Amino acid sequence: MRKMYLISLGLLALTGGCRPMWLNTIDPPGPPEYKLGWEDGCDTGLSAEGEWYYKAMYGFKKRPEMASNEQYKTGWNEGFTYCRFSLDTSQQRGSFEDIGLGGGF
């Protein structure tokens, strides 16, 4: 019983802070300030659109020390928009009728 508990806890720790798999393939182009803004905006977008566990893992991120950096602000806005609406699209449940298969199989 204790071994199963430790394995479950370990798996939770490994996956707890990870972004969704489809976001791991995104590497925004640009300077480091833009990339930092994109990552912070993306995390905020996931928190804004997601369920409670997204809100708990990501939260609102906007660094006050970067408030005057235009590249950071542009990256933040683009990351927020991309991740928020990508998550919304990935969570929508369609039916077979939506893709032209009629009532299913």
As given in the structure block, the two tokens for residue 59 are: 């939260």
3 has pLDDT over 90: no
35 has pLDDT over 70: yes
Higher pLDDT, 31 or 23: 31
pTM for the full model?
0.66
CB atoms within 10 A of CB 4: 8
Alpha-carbon distances of 36 from 4, 46, 50, 96, rounded to whole Å: 38, 16, 21, 39
88 has pLDDT over 60: yes
